[in-house]
Copies of this chain bind each other. A is one copy, B any other.
């Protein structure tokens, strides 16, 4: 099971790399496209179904000039073909509205299909208040 845990950990790492690279094509590979997949972005509503979730990532990537989300202290539990990963997310974002830094806690659930661990559930919730710096004005 140790090997499986490492595979799940690698899949989780790829998710955060796709996020920080704002790479929608990689997101399409990482997520399951099932109708039951669900996603909660920090402080936002529960989204259901890949088409809706894909649209939310596209919106986030369109808004972000720069976005880095670094996973910290990932913990992996493998239960047959399902795996739960929890981690702390360190988030830095830079948009036209200014920059912000904050942290979140995430629950990510993966399901192994055709030998590949696919993300089927993402729930992230903010820890503490985000530090927001408005853009400099002339």
Contact = CB atoms under 8 A, between A and B. Distances in A.
A75 interface: yes
A38 B109 CA distance: 13
A105 B109 CA distance: 16
B46 A111 contact: no
Given A48-B75, A75-B38, A123-B123, A109 B84 contact: yes
Interface of A: 36, 38, 40, 42-43, 45-46, 48, 75, 77, 79-82, 84, 86, 88, 105, 107, 109, 111, 120-121, 123, 125-127
A84 B40 contact: no
B46 A121 contact: no
Contacts of A127: 43, 45
Number of copies of this chain that the complex holds: 2
A84 to B, nearest CB: 6
A86 B38 contact: yes
Given A38-B75, A43-B125, A43-B127, 10 more contacts: A38-B84, A40-B105, A40-B125, A45-B105, A46-B105, A48-B75, A84-B121, A123-B123, A123-B125, A125-B125
Contacts of A36: 75, 77
Contact of A46 (B80, B86, B120): B86
What 10 pairs across the A-B complex have the smallest Cβ distances?
A125-B125, A82-B82, A107-B123, A36-B77, A123-B123, A46-B105, A79-B82, A107-B107, A40-B105, A38-B86
